[in-house]
A = this chain, B = another copy of it.
Protein backbone atom coordinates (compact mmCIF):
# COMPACT_ATOMS: atom_id res chain seq x y z
CA UNK A 1 0.00 0.00 0.00
CA UNK A 2 1.48 3.30 -1.08
CA UNK A 3 0.55 6.35 1.03
CA UNK A 4 -2.13 8.68 -0.33
CA UNK A 5 -1.73 12.46 -0.47
CA UNK A 6 -2.88 14.11 2.78
CA UNK A 7 -1.97 17.72 2.05
CA UNK A 8 -0.06 19.92 -0.37
CA UNK A 9 1.83 23.03 0.65
CA UNK A 10 3.99 25.72 -0.90
CA UNK A 11 7.70 26.34 -0.37
CA UNK A 12 10.06 28.61 -2.23
CA UNK A 13 10.15 27.39 -5.84
CA UNK A 14 8.42 24.11 -5.03
CA UNK A 15 5.55 22.17 -3.52
CA UNK A 16 5.49 19.90 -0.49
CA UNK A 17 3.37 16.79 -0.30
CA UNK A 18 2.28 15.33 3.05
CA UNK A 19 1.36 11.64 3.16
CA UNK A 20 -1.58 9.91 4.77
CA UNK A 21 0.70 7.44 6.58
CA UNK A 22 2.48 10.22 8.42
CA UNK A 23 5.84 9.64 6.69
CA UNK A 24 8.01 12.71 6.13
CA UNK A 25 6.59 15.27 3.70
CA UNK A 26 8.38 15.42 0.35
CA UNK A 27 9.47 18.52 -1.55
CA UNK A 28 9.36 18.75 -5.33
CA UNK A 29 10.70 21.75 -7.22
CA UNK A 30 8.46 23.42 -9.80
CA UNK A 31 10.91 22.85 -12.66
CA UNK A 32 11.27 19.18 -11.69
CA UNK A 33 7.49 18.66 -11.66
CA UNK A 34 6.94 20.51 -14.91
CA UNK A 35 9.75 18.56 -16.60
CA UNK A 36 8.25 15.26 -15.45
CA UNK A 37 4.74 15.95 -16.72
CA UNK A 38 3.57 12.63 -18.19
CA UNK A 39 0.72 13.81 -20.38
CA UNK A 40 0.58 12.71 -24.00
CA UNK A 41 1.99 16.06 -25.16
CA UNK A 42 5.05 15.73 -22.92
CA UNK A 43 5.69 11.98 -23.37
CA UNK A 44 5.43 9.97 -26.53
CA UNK A 45 2.48 7.65 -25.87
CA UNK A 46 4.16 4.65 -27.54
CA UNK A 47 7.83 5.07 -26.62
CA UNK A 48 7.28 6.56 -23.12
CA UNK A 49 10.14 8.92 -23.95
CA UNK A 50 10.04 12.61 -23.11
CA UNK A 51 8.94 14.58 -26.18
CA UNK A 52 8.76 17.72 -24.08
CA UNK A 53 11.97 19.65 -24.70
CA UNK A 54 13.40 20.32 -21.24
CA UNK A 55 15.49 23.06 -22.80
CA UNK A 56 12.35 24.99 -23.84
CA UNK A 57 10.97 25.23 -20.29
CA UNK A 58 11.16 28.41 -18.26
CA UNK A 59 13.44 27.59 -15.29
CA UNK A 60 11.18 29.94 -13.28
CA UNK A 61 7.99 28.10 -14.25
CA UNK A 62 5.48 28.20 -11.37
CA UNK A 63 2.00 26.92 -10.58
CA UNK A 64 -0.97 29.12 -11.35
CA UNK A 65 -3.32 26.71 -9.59
CA UNK A 66 -2.78 23.59 -7.47
CA UNK A 67 -5.40 21.02 -6.51
CA UNK A 68 -5.19 17.56 -5.06
CA UNK A 69 -7.23 14.62 -3.91
CA UNK A 70 -5.76 11.63 -2.07
CA UNK A 71 -4.75 9.90 -5.33
CA UNK A 72 -3.29 12.73 -7.41
CA UNK A 73 -1.80 16.20 -7.56
CA UNK A 74 -3.04 18.52 -10.33
CA UNK A 75 -1.10 21.62 -11.36
CA UNK A 76 -2.00 24.36 -13.82
CA UNK A 77 1.32 25.96 -14.78
CA UNK A 78 2.30 29.54 -15.58
CA UNK A 79 3.03 28.37 -19.14
CA UNK A 80 -0.63 27.33 -19.50
CA UNK A 81 0.11 23.58 -19.30
CA UNK A 82 -1.89 21.17 -17.10
CA UNK A 83 -0.19 18.28 -15.27
CA UNK A 84 -1.47 15.38 -13.19
CA UNK A 85 0.89 13.43 -10.90
CA UNK A 86 -0.42 10.19 -9.36
CA UNK A 87 0.24 9.91 -5.61
CA UNK A 88 2.05 6.58 -6.03
CA UNK A 89 4.37 8.02 -8.67
CA UNK A 90 5.22 11.02 -6.47
CA UNK A 91 5.89 8.80 -3.49
CA UNK A 92 8.15 6.57 -5.53
CA UNK A 93 10.11 9.50 -6.94
CA UNK A 94 10.74 11.50 -3.74
CA UNK A 95 14.30 12.79 -3.76
CA UNK A 96 16.70 10.47 -2.00
CA UNK A 97 14.69 7.26 -1.95
CA UNK A 98 15.89 5.60 -5.14
CA UNK A 99 19.54 5.28 -4.04
CA UNK A 100 19.15 1.56 -4.46
CA UNK A 101 17.26 0.33 -7.49
CA UNK A 102 14.05 -0.70 -5.76
CA UNK A 103 13.26 -3.18 -8.52
CA UNK A 104 16.44 -5.18 -7.88
CA UNK A 105 17.23 -7.42 -4.89
CA UNK A 106 20.13 -6.61 -2.58
CA UNK A 107 23.54 -8.09 -3.46
CA UNK A 108 24.54 -10.23 -0.46
CA UNK A 109 28.31 -10.62 0.16
CA UNK A 110 29.53 -14.09 1.05
CA UNK A 111 32.67 -15.83 2.32
CA UNK A 112 33.80 -19.46 2.35
CA UNK A 113 30.72 -20.49 4.32
CA UNK A 114 28.79 -20.34 1.05
CA UNK A 115 30.49 -23.67 0.29
CA UNK A 116 27.75 -25.41 2.28
CA UNK A 117 24.95 -23.70 0.42
CA UNK A 118 26.11 -23.09 -3.15
CA UNK A 119 23.18 -21.61 -5.07
CA UNK A 120 22.00 -24.08 -7.68
CA UNK A 121 19.04 -24.82 -9.89
CA UNK A 122 17.97 -27.47 -12.40
CA UNK A 123 18.42 -26.69 -16.06
CA UNK A 124 14.83 -27.77 -16.67
CA UNK A 125 13.50 -25.22 -14.18
CA UNK A 126 15.38 -22.38 -15.86
CA UNK A 127 14.15 -23.39 -19.31
CA UNK A 128 10.58 -24.28 -18.39
CA UNK A 129 8.93 -20.99 -17.46
CA UNK A 130 9.36 -17.44 -16.22
CA UNK A 131 9.26 -18.58 -12.59
CA UNK A 132 12.31 -20.84 -12.81
CA UNK A 133 14.14 -18.30 -14.92
CA UNK A 134 13.35 -15.59 -12.37
CA UNK A 135 14.70 -17.70 -9.50
CA UNK A 136 17.93 -18.28 -11.41
CA UNK A 137 18.41 -14.66 -12.52
CA UNK A 138 17.74 -13.46 -8.99
CA UNK A 139 20.09 -16.03 -7.42
CA UNK A 140 22.94 -14.87 -9.59
CA UNK A 141 22.14 -11.23 -8.92
CA UNK A 142 22.02 -11.72 -5.16
CA UNK A 143 25.02 -14.03 -4.65
CA UNK A 144 26.96 -13.35 -7.83
CA UNK A 145 27.01 -17.08 -8.60
CA UNK A 146 24.80 -20.08 -9.31
CA UNK A 147 25.30 -23.60 -10.61
CA UNK A 148 22.88 -24.96 -13.18
CA UNK A 149 22.66 -28.77 -13.07
CA UNK A 150 21.62 -31.15 -15.81
CA UNK A 151 22.17 -29.04 -18.92
CA UNK A 152 22.39 -31.01 -22.18
CA UNK A 153 26.02 -31.81 -23.02
CA UNK A 154 25.95 -30.23 -26.48
CA UNK A 155 27.61 -27.26 -28.15
CA UNK A 156 24.19 -25.69 -28.72
CA UNK A 157 22.78 -25.76 -25.19
CA UNK A 158 24.75 -22.86 -23.73
CA UNK A 159 23.64 -20.08 -26.07
CA UNK A 160 20.02 -21.18 -25.84
CA UNK A 161 20.26 -21.04 -22.06
CA UNK A 162 22.08 -17.70 -21.82
CA UNK A 163 19.75 -16.05 -24.34
CA UNK A 164 16.91 -16.69 -21.90
CA UNK A 165 18.46 -13.76 -20.01
CA UNK A 166 19.79 -11.49 -22.76
CA UNK A 167 21.87 -11.24 -25.89
CA UNK A 168 25.42 -12.55 -25.81
CA UNK A 169 28.29 -10.12 -25.40
CA UNK A 170 30.85 -10.53 -28.16
CA UNK A 171 34.50 -9.87 -27.28
CA UNK A 172 37.87 -10.37 -28.96
CA UNK A 173 37.47 -14.06 -28.04
CA UNK A 174 34.24 -14.27 -30.08
CA UNK A 175 30.55 -14.57 -29.21
CA UNK A 176 31.36 -17.84 -27.44
CA UNK A 177 34.63 -19.59 -26.74
CA UNK A 178 36.01 -22.97 -25.72
CA UNK A 179 38.35 -23.37 -22.75
CA UNK A 180 40.66 -26.24 -23.68
CA UNK A 181 44.42 -26.61 -23.57
CA UNK A 182 45.81 -25.67 -26.99
CA UNK A 183 49.32 -25.72 -28.43
CA UNK A 184 49.64 -22.02 -29.29
CA UNK A 185 47.43 -20.19 -26.82
CA UNK A 186 46.87 -16.41 -26.93
CA UNK A 187 45.67 -16.49 -23.33
CA UNK A 188 46.78 -18.44 -20.29
CA UNK A 189 43.23 -19.79 -19.90
CA UNK A 190 43.92 -21.92 -22.96
CA UNK A 191 46.76 -23.79 -21.24
CA UNK A 192 46.59 -26.44 -18.53
CA UNK A 193 48.22 -24.10 -15.99
CA UNK A 194 46.77 -23.02 -12.69
CA UNK A 195 44.75 -19.82 -13.01
CA UNK A 196 45.01 -17.48 -10.06
CA UNK A 197 41.79 -15.78 -9.01
CA UNK A 198 40.95 -13.03 -11.47
CA UNK A 199 38.19 -11.21 -13.27
CA UNK A 200 37.98 -11.64 -17.03
CA UNK A 201 38.94 -8.87 -19.45
CA UNK A 202 39.76 -6.03 -17.02
CA UNK A 203 41.64 -4.60 -20.01
CA UNK A 204 38.30 -3.73 -21.65
CA UNK A 205 36.51 -0.52 -20.87
CA UNK A 206 33.43 -2.52 -19.97
CA UNK A 207 34.48 -6.00 -18.85
CA UNK A 208 31.82 -8.65 -19.50
CA UNK A 209 29.19 -8.75 -16.79
CA UNK A 210 28.04 -12.33 -16.28
CA UNK A 211 29.95 -15.37 -17.37
CA UNK A 212 28.50 -18.79 -18.19
CA UNK A 213 30.93 -21.75 -18.15
CA UNK A 214 29.34 -24.95 -19.41
CA UNK A 215 31.25 -28.14 -18.67
CA UNK A 216 31.27 -30.50 -21.67
CA UNK A 217 34.18 -32.81 -20.75
CA UNK A 218 35.91 -33.31 -17.38
CA UNK A 219 38.26 -36.26 -17.82
CA UNK A 220 41.57 -34.58 -16.87
CA UNK A 221 42.53 -34.84 -13.20
CA UNK A 222 42.54 -31.43 -11.46
CA UNK A 223 41.05 -28.27 -12.87
CA UNK A 224 38.81 -27.53 -9.89
CA UNK A 225 37.08 -24.17 -10.08
CA UNK A 226 37.66 -21.58 -7.35
CA UNK A 227 35.46 -18.55 -6.63
CA UNK A 228 35.73 -15.56 -4.29
CA UNK A 229 33.28 -12.72 -3.75
CA UNK A 230 35.27 -9.58 -4.56
CA UNK A 231 32.61 -7.42 -2.92
CA UNK A 232 33.11 -9.29 0.35
CA UNK A 233 36.88 -8.84 -0.01
CA UNK A 234 36.43 -5.13 -0.66
CA UNK A 235 34.35 -4.75 2.49
CA UNK A 236 37.02 -6.49 4.58
CA UNK A 237 39.63 -4.04 3.29
CA UNK A 238 37.32 -1.03 3.73
CA UNK A 239 36.95 -2.11 7.39
CA UNK A 240 40.51 -3.22 8.20
CA UNK A 241 42.85 -1.20 6.02
CA UNK A 242 41.42 2.18 4.98
CA UNK A 243 44.74 3.31 3.47
CA UNK A 244 44.86 0.33 1.11
CA UNK A 245 41.16 0.75 0.33
CA UNK A 246 41.68 4.39 -0.62
CA UNK A 247 44.39 3.44 -3.12
CA UNK A 248 42.35 0.57 -4.53
CA UNK A 249 39.35 2.82 -5.24
CA UNK A 250 41.29 5.79 -6.63
CA UNK A 251 44.46 4.73 -8.44
CA UNK A 252 43.92 3.43 -11.99
CA UNK A 253 45.70 0.15 -12.71
CA UNK A 254 46.57 -0.45 -16.38
CA UNK A 255 45.49 -3.74 -17.91
CA UNK A 256 46.46 -4.93 -21.35
CA UNK A 257 45.82 -7.88 -23.63
CA UNK A 258 47.61 -8.15 -26.95
CA UNK A 259 47.97 -10.77 -29.60
CA UNK A 260 48.50 -10.77 -33.35
CA UNK A 261 45.16 -9.02 -34.03
CA UNK A 262 44.40 -6.93 -30.93
CA UNK A 263 45.95 -4.52 -28.49
CA UNK A 264 43.22 -3.88 -25.93
CA UNK A 265 44.02 -1.67 -22.93
CA UNK A 266 42.11 0.00 -20.16
CA UNK A 267 43.01 1.70 -16.87
CA UNK A 268 40.72 1.51 -13.85
CA UNK A 269 40.99 1.17 -10.08
CA UNK A 270 40.86 -2.38 -8.68
CA UNK A 271 37.66 -1.49 -6.81
CA UNK A 272 35.06 0.67 -8.53
CA UNK A 273 32.53 2.52 -6.40
CA UNK A 274 29.27 4.17 -7.40
CA UNK A 275 28.59 7.79 -6.57
CA UNK A 276 27.20 6.86 -3.15
CA UNK A 277 30.17 4.68 -2.17
CA UNK A 278 28.41 1.45 -3.09
CA UNK A 279 30.49 -1.35 -4.64
CA UNK A 280 30.09 -1.42 -8.36
CA UNK A 281 32.90 -3.61 -9.69
CA UNK A 282 36.26 -5.23 -9.08
CA UNK A 283 39.00 -5.67 -11.67
CA UNK A 284 41.94 -7.86 -10.83
CA UNK A 285 44.10 -9.98 -13.07
CA UNK A 286 47.81 -10.28 -12.28
CA UNK A 287 48.60 -11.79 -15.66
CA UNK A 288 47.14 -8.81 -17.56
CA UNK A 289 48.44 -6.04 -15.32
CA UNK A 290 50.61 -3.69 -17.38
CA UNK A 291 53.53 -1.75 -15.85
CA UNK A 292 52.09 0.61 -13.24
CA UNK A 293 52.36 4.27 -14.10
CA UNK A 294 51.59 6.26 -10.98
CA UNK A 295 53.28 8.99 -8.94
CA UNK A 296 56.60 7.58 -7.63
CA UNK A 297 55.41 7.84 -4.04
CA UNK A 298 52.46 5.58 -4.81
CA UNK A 299 54.31 2.70 -6.48
CA UNK A 300 55.16 0.75 -3.32
CA UNK A 301 51.92 1.59 -1.47
CA UNK A 302 49.92 0.42 -4.50
CA UNK A 303 51.85 -2.84 -4.68
CA UNK A 304 51.14 -3.29 -1.00
CA UNK A 305 47.42 -2.53 -1.45
CA UNK A 306 47.11 -4.97 -4.35
CA UNK A 307 48.86 -7.53 -2.17
CA UNK A 308 46.25 -6.94 0.53
CA UNK A 309 43.52 -7.50 -2.05
CA UNK A 310 45.12 -10.67 -3.38
CA UNK A 311 45.78 -11.89 0.16
CA UNK A 312 42.10 -11.77 1.08
CA UNK A 313 41.17 -13.40 -2.23
CA UNK A 314 43.53 -16.29 -1.60
CA UNK A 315 42.62 -16.87 2.03
CA UNK A 316 40.60 -19.95 2.83
CA UNK A 317 38.19 -17.64 4.65
CA UNK A 318 37.05 -16.33 1.30
CA UNK A 319 37.20 -19.17 -1.17
CA UNK A 320 34.70 -21.73 -2.37
CA UNK A 321 35.59 -24.50 -4.80
CA UNK A 322 33.65 -26.68 -7.17
CA UNK A 323 34.43 -29.52 -9.51
CA UNK A 324 32.38 -29.11 -12.64
CA UNK A 325 30.94 -32.24 -14.21
CA UNK A 326 29.52 -32.51 -17.73
CA UNK A 327 26.10 -30.82 -17.73
CA UNK A 328 27.04 -28.30 -15.02
CA UNK A 329 26.98 -24.61 -15.91
CA UNK A 330 28.77 -22.28 -13.53
CA UNK A 331 27.32 -18.77 -13.83
CA UNK A 332 28.92 -15.82 -12.07
CA UNK A 333 29.12 -12.03 -11.98
CA UNK A 334 32.50 -11.37 -13.57
CA UNK A 335 32.71 -7.82 -12.20
CA UNK A 336 32.13 -8.97 -8.65
CA UNK A 337 33.26 -12.57 -8.27
CA UNK A 338 36.85 -13.61 -9.01
CA UNK A 339 37.35 -17.04 -10.49
CA UNK A 340 40.30 -19.36 -10.98
CA UNK A 341 41.16 -23.01 -11.35
CA UNK A 342 43.75 -25.44 -10.17
CA UNK A 343 46.12 -26.85 -12.79
CA UNK A 344 44.99 -29.96 -14.60
CA UNK A 345 46.85 -32.81 -16.19
CA UNK A 346 46.03 -32.91 -19.90
CA UNK A 347 47.72 -36.30 -20.22
CA UNK A 348 44.93 -37.72 -18.05
CA UNK A 349 42.19 -36.82 -20.48
CA UNK A 350 40.31 -33.82 -21.82
CA UNK A 351 38.88 -30.81 -20.02
CA UNK A 352 36.45 -28.74 -22.05
CA UNK A 353 34.39 -25.75 -20.93
CA UNK A 354 32.20 -23.68 -23.24
CA UNK A 355 31.75 -20.03 -22.34
CA UNK A 356 29.61 -16.97 -23.11
CA UNK A 357 29.01 -13.58 -21.49
CA UNK A 358 25.85 -11.53 -20.83
CA UNK A 359 26.22 -7.90 -19.79
CA UNK A 360 25.29 -6.44 -16.40
CA UNK A 361 22.60 -4.08 -17.58
CA UNK A 362 20.98 -6.82 -19.69
CA UNK A 363 20.82 -8.96 -16.58
CA UNK A 364 19.34 -6.18 -14.46
CA UNK A 365 16.76 -5.41 -17.13
CA UNK A 366 15.64 -9.04 -17.37
CA UNK A 367 15.42 -9.24 -13.59
CA UNK A 368 13.26 -6.09 -13.35
CA UNK A 369 10.91 -7.43 -16.02
CA UNK A 370 10.67 -10.90 -14.48
CA UNK A 371 9.96 -9.49 -11.03
CA UNK A 372 6.94 -7.69 -12.38
CA UNK A 373 5.85 -10.78 -14.30
CA UNK A 374 6.96 -9.56 -17.72
CA UNK A 375 9.51 -10.71 -20.25
CA UNK A 376 9.56 -14.40 -19.44
CA UNK A 377 12.67 -15.01 -21.49
CA UNK A 378 13.31 -16.79 -24.73
CA UNK A 379 14.27 -13.49 -26.36
The one of B53, B172, B304, B306 in contact with A196, judged by C-beta atoms closer than 8 angstroms, is: B53
Known contacts A196-B55, A291-B32; A47/B188 CB under 8 A: yes
Question: Residue on B with the closest CB to A299?
Answer: B29
A142 within 8 A of B: no
- Bitwise, A91-125 to B at CB < 8 A (1) or not (0) is 00101111101010000000000000000000000
The one of B54, B259, B288, B296 in contact with A306, judged by C-beta atoms closer than 8 angstroms, is: B54
The one of B27, B51, B196, B205 in contact with A206, judged by C-beta atoms closer than 8 angstroms, is: B205
Nearest-neighbour CB distance to chain B for A205, whole angstroms, equals 5
Interface pick from A223-231, A324-332, A361-369:
A361-369
Question: Residue on B with the closest CB to A13?
Answer: B300
Q: Is the CB of A188 within 8 A of B263?
A: no
Q: How far is the CA of A170 from the CA of B53 in the complex (A)?
A: 29
The one of B190, B205, B263, B286 in contact with A54, judged by C-beta atoms closer than 8 angstroms, is: B286
Q: Is the CB of B296 within 8 A of A262?
A: no
A36 within 8 A of B: yes
Q: How far is the CA of A374 from the CA of B260 in the complex (A)?
A: 8
- Bitwise, A190-233 to B at CB < 8 A (1) or not (0) is 11010010000000111000000000000000000000000000
Interface pick from A63-71, A236-244, A264-272:
A264-272
| Residues of A in contact, count (CB < 8 Å) | 91
Q: Is the CB of A31 within 8 A of B300?
A: yes
Residue picked from A13, A251, A359, most chain B C-beta under 10 Å:
A359
A156 within 8 A of B: no
Question: Residue on B with the closest CB to A93?
Answer: B291
Q: How far is the CA of A161 from the CA of B343 in the complex (A)?
A: 42
Question: Residue on B with the closest CB to A27?
Answer: B296
Q: How far is the CA of A109 from the CA of B288 in the complex (A)?
A: 32
A323 within 8 A of B: no
Q: Is the CB of A59 within 8 A of B300?
A: yes
Question: Residue on B with the closest CB to A197?
Answer: B55
Residue picked from A96, A263, A310, A314, most chain B C-beta under 10 Å:
A263
A153 within 8 A of B: no
Q: Is the CB of B310 within 8 A of A54?
A: yes
Q: Is the CB of B47 within 8 A of A187?
A: yes
A140 within 8 A of B: no
- Sort A-B residue pairs by CB-CB distance and give the 5 closest, nearest first: A206-B206, A49-B287, A263-B368, A55-B310, A29-B299
Sample (28) of A-B pairs whose CB atoms are under 8 Å apart: A13-B300, A36-B291, A44-B188, A46-B184, A46-B185, A47-B186, A47-B187, A48-B259, A51-B188, A54-B303, A54-B310, A55-B286, A55-B310, A59-B303, A59-B304, A95-B295, A95-B299, A96-B295, A97-B293, A99-B293, A167-B172, A205-B359, A206-B359, A261-B379, A262-B365, A263-B369, A264-B361, A265-B361
Q: Can you add 9 more A-B contacts, CB < 8 Å, to A32-B303, A59-B303, A206-B359?
A: A32-B299, A35-B303, A46-B184, A51-B193, A98-B254, A101-B265, A204-B361, A205-B361, A263-B365
